[in-house]
Structure 1
């Protein structure tokens, strides 16, 4: 499953540099699938939807840092544990029960994001 940042976030910035998929964004920041990934132009998401990877998307939160679920791999293939959770001083990076994925799906997503 993806990781979610709860409203207990203090916007400390510790997590954002730790994410190998650039899935974490500042409050009220627009985001794109192409940000710091190998994606560009029209792409098919792992769920089968087609999107423009370069298109800017609305922020998920305007109050605290947020994680884009379609870009989060729980650091599978990079680290043994989610790095955002390991560095968070207030323990607000937790599993997202609304985005449950198998390890195999997370590794496929990693390969998709980084064109492996």
Structure 2
């Protein structure tokens, strides 16, 4: 599953540079995660880096975008080909 940022985000800017897929960007009010680019860092790291650095723990699993580990790996491989 991709991740999403809740409205508890304090716009601290620490998550965006940690995302290896450039899935995080500044939205109108808070940072947002593009579910088409989020792989939970599968293919890059063992754990989602944005969750590791978030000081308010506002980055959660997005239940609206369910994906298996294999699907996240396939998405990672597709993203890498586009870069």
Q: TM-score range by the shorter chain?
A: over 0.9
For the residue of structure 2 that corresponds to 1:110, the secondary structure is: helix
* Within-5 A mapping of 1:1-116: 1-27=1-27, 62-115=28-81
Deviations 1:15-58 (A, max 9, x none): 0000000000012xxxxxxxxxxxxxxxxxxxxxxxxxxxxxxx
- What's the Cα RMSD here? 1.0
After TM superposition, the score normalised by the length of structure 2 is 0.96
Q: Which has the larger radius of gyration?
A: 1
Distance in 1, matches of 2:71 and 2:3, equals 14
User: 1:68-87 CA deviation, whole Å, 9 max, x = no partner?
Assistant: 00100000011111111110
- Unpaired runs of 5+ residues, structure 2, are none
What SS does the corresponding residue of 1:94 show, helix, strand or coil? Answer: strand
Deviation above 2 Å: which 4+ runs of structure 1? none
Unaligned runs of 5+ in 1: 28-61
